[in-house]
Each structure stands twice: as structure tokens, then as C-alpha cells.
Amino acid sequence: MSAVRQAHDLYGEYPLLDQPEMQTRRLITSRLAAGALACAGAFSTLSAQAAEPSYFAVVPVSGSGAVGQIRPVKIALAGAVPPAAHTGVAYEFNIAALLTLDGPAGTSPADATWSLEMGALPAGLLFDAGRIFGTPLELSSSPIKLTVVVSYRGLEARQDYEISVAQTYYEFTDSISGTATNYDLQQAALASGWDGVQPLKAQVTIEENAIVGSASTSLYAFSTGADLPSGSMLTLRNYGAIIGMGGSGGRGEFPYGISAGSPGGGALNVQTPLLVENHGLIAGGGGGGGAGAFNTQPNVAAGGGGGGGGQGFTTSAPGSGGLVYSGAYYPAGSAGHSGNLAAPGVGGTGASSGYYPNQYSAPWYCTAGSGGRGGALGESGLPGGVGTGAGCINVNGAMGGAAGVAAQGTENIIWGEKGTILGAVRQQP
């Protein structure tokens, strides 16, 4: 190739991309007389004619740089861990911010095109212009792998990302440091602002020396609540005590008859899966003691003693003593004693009867049974005593009440630590 043609290829009509002013070298063609050639710079002869030869002069533009240096385009897409996605919460992952695009002036990331080569987005999410956005509607059981491709003027870069959609929870935390009665976790969370629809993530801590108890044998000291939204996660950390109510003592019936002690109340009612870390005490209330047997024979009658109240969170009722009437009143048994948090109540004493009309004085012919002691925490009450006396009926006393359960709903309990349990742990009925 001639020197003139090479000069044209290098300097003629080619933009200098590495110069800001984008100057253009131009081919300057001049027909010069043969006598003027001595003043020209560099000349090359393209053709010669006999009458009038033609010449071309190539003149570089002043201040130009190296010839023909064009910066190539480079494209790269960085990896990253996408932000956590949760159901029902607006989400955005800006992959376009991870794009590196380098090249000559005029190279713009806005001209890049984006696509998903592999993977399907979770329901509720969209992909557009290098962004994943929207509101996830469903959980993902495992991470979803996505391959993203970005293209620019025939060049491509690709990168893999993994997105997981987790459950969104309403988080509820409560700490009990004193005394609480008939605590219902579900109701406590609702009172804090939970809508009852979003899955609940709750943690309740009963501090050391704190007591959660029940003031009624028909209610549990601590309940989770029922029918919580699917996916709810509940945790109970107990460093204090959860104690049911003690049962009432059995009483003597007028004019004859006796009653059994009533059952103690339950401590923990678990109707929703619950992780229990018990570092303290969970105890059902003690059952009430049974009433003592009345006793009689013709013209002689004595009332039995009332049963003692069971041990529990609050004071339990004692049973009244038996009051007997058969044409006339006869000696009554004494009432039992209340149970409380410290101890169960003892039973009342059975009466002794003389012969009518001296039924209130010796000699004693029949003695009624004393009432049974109330049960300690997690224990049944004792039965009432049997009457004594020659020729008397000497029937048995009434049964003591059953202990309250320590925990009901064992199928829903995940034990992290069992601690001290007094009373039965059983399934929901």
C-alpha cells in the first residue's frame, strides 16, 4: 500500500475518540506546481501526467494525539446477597446498581438491556430494567435461584442471585416481673396492636420471683389462646412460677349428706404450638379435701368436718361442717380451713353426739368423721374421715378433689427445659 493511502487511512475522515473536541484530521489535497514542491512537508505521488502532474499533501491537525486509539467497551455484573424478602412487605433489589459499564464517551448504562435467563420470581415480584420489585405474596420453601443477563451492543454479562421469601410476623414481647392473674398471651398481643391476622411471633418471660396465677379453678393461670394464624411462633421463658387455683373443701350437707372436695385449677393451657423453657415452677392447684362422714343412730346424730381448701395461687374456700337435723338439731362438725399459696388447709373436726335430748353432752354415742386436708400443689385433696361409734352407721367420708393439671396440651408443647412440674401434663381433650 502506498504511503499516501496509508496516510489517508490514518488521518482522513476518522474521528479522534480520545480527544474531547473530537477534532477530525482532514485530507488536504492540493495541486501544486512542480516548482513549489520544495516548500511542501511530505508528499507522495499518486499518478503522473505529462502535461500537469498531480500531488496530495497530508497535513495533521495541530495538537492531535496518537492515531487510531479507540477505548473498548467493558461490561461486568457483580454478585451480591439480595436483601431479605417477607410476605406482605414492599421489596426492591436494584441489580442495575451492580452493573459496571466502561467505554468511550457516550457509553451509557441506560442503553443496556436486561433479562432473566433462568428462574421464576416469587408471586408478587416483578423484574424490569435491572430491578426486582413488588410485594411478595407467598413463602418460598427454599432459596430461588435467578440468572440475570445484561446486554450492551453485542456484549453480555450474567450473574446468579438467590432470593428467599420469609414469613412476616407481628413481634410481641412481654416481661412479667410481679404478679399476673389469668394471663392470656393472645389477648395481650391484641392489646398491644396486633391485628390477629398476621402470624404472631411472641416471647413472654416470667422473671425470677414473679408469679402468674389463677383466681378461679375454671381458668388457667397462663393460656396461649386458640386459633392463632398459621405460622405463629410462641415462646415462654419461665424463671418464676405458674400456679393454678386450689380447689374448695367438701362440705357437710343439711340435713344429711356430704360432698367431695372440688378439683384444683390448671396452670398452663397450650392450644397453639409453644416452646417452653421452664427454669422455675409450673404447678396445678391442689384439690380440696373431702368432707368428713356424718354419723347417726336413733336419737343420736353428729355432723362431719368440712374439707380443707387446696394449696394454690390465692386463698381457696374451706368446706363447711355438717349440720344435722332430725326432728331436732344435733351437733355440727366444724368447718375446714382455707388453703393458700403457702400451704393447703386442714379439714374440720367431726362432731360427737350424745343421746337426745342430751345430744350436746356426754356420754358420746357417735362421732362423725373429720374433713380431709386439701391437696398440696399438684396433688389431690384427701378424703374425709370415717365416723366411729358402736351401733352407729360409720359411713366413709367424701373423696378429695383432683389436682389441677400442670399443663394441658402436651401435643402443642416443645420443651426446651422442663424445670419443676407439679401435676399432670396431658393432651387437650
92-107 residue pLDDT tens: 999 999 999 988 888 8
Cell 393460656 sits at which residue?
A: 223
Task: Pick 119 or 314 by higher pLDDT.
Answer: 314
Answer yes or no: is pLDDT of 43 > 80.
no
Residue 28 CA to residue 401 CA, distance in Å, equals: 119
Please write the tens of the pLDDT for every residue from 162-184.
Answer: 998 988 899 999 999 999 999 99
Write a three-state SS string for the chain. CCHHHHHHHHHCCCECCCCCCCCECCCECCCCCHHHHHHCCCEEEEECCCCCCEEEECCCCCCCCCCCCCCCCEEEECCCCCCCEECCCCEEEEHHHHEEEECCCCCCHHHCEEEEEECCCCCCEEEECCEEEECCCCCCCCCEEEEEEEEECCEEEEEEEEECEECCCEEEEEEECCEEECEEHHHHHHHCCCCCCCCEEEEEEECCCCEEECCCCCCCCEECCCCCCCCCEEEEEECCEEECCCCCCCCECCCCCECCCCCCCCCEECCCCEEEEECCEEECCCCCCCCCCCEEECCEEECCCCCCCCCCCCCECCCCCCCEECCCEECCCCCCCCECCCCCCCCCCCCEECCCCCCCCCCCCEECCCCCCCCCCCCCCCCCCCCECCCCCCCCCCCCCCCCCCEECHHHEEEEECCEEECCEECCC
pLDDT score recorded for residue 68: 54
The whole-chain average pLDDT of the chain stands at 86
The pLDDT, as a whole number, for residue 166 is: 86
Nearest to 351 by CA among 373, 322, 326: 322
Structure confidence by residue, pLDDT tens digits, 294-331? 999 999 999 999 999 999 999 999 999 998 888 899 99
pLDDT at 42: 36
* pLDDT category of residue 69 using cuts at 50, 70 and 90: low
- CA 414-418-421 angle, to 5 degrees, is 120
Cis peptide before 363 (omega within 30 of 0): yes
Q: For 74-166, which CATH superfamily applies?
A: Immunoglobulins (2.60.40.10)
Every domain range in the chain assigned CATH 2.60.40.10: 74-166
Examine the pLDDT at 33 and tell me if it is beyond 80: no
- Look up residue 324 and give its three cell numbers: 344435722
Q: How confident is the model at residue 130 (pLDDT cuts 50, 70, 90)?
A: very high
Q: Give yes or no for residue 248 having a pLDDT over 60.
A: yes
Asked if 319 contacts 259 with a C-beta cutoff of 8 angstroms, the reply is yes
| 38-55: average pLDDT | 39
Q: What is the mean pLDDT of residues 133-155?
A: 90
Residue 327: what pLDDT?
87
Residue 8: pLDDT band with limits 50, 70, 90: very low
Range with the poorest average pLDDT among 20-34, 159-173, 328-342: 20-34
- 209-236 pLDDT, tens digit per residue, is 999 999 999 999 999 999 999 889 999 9
Q: Is the pTM of this model over 0.75?
A: no
Q: Could you tell me the pLDDT band of residue 84, with boundaries at 50, 70 and 90?
A: confident
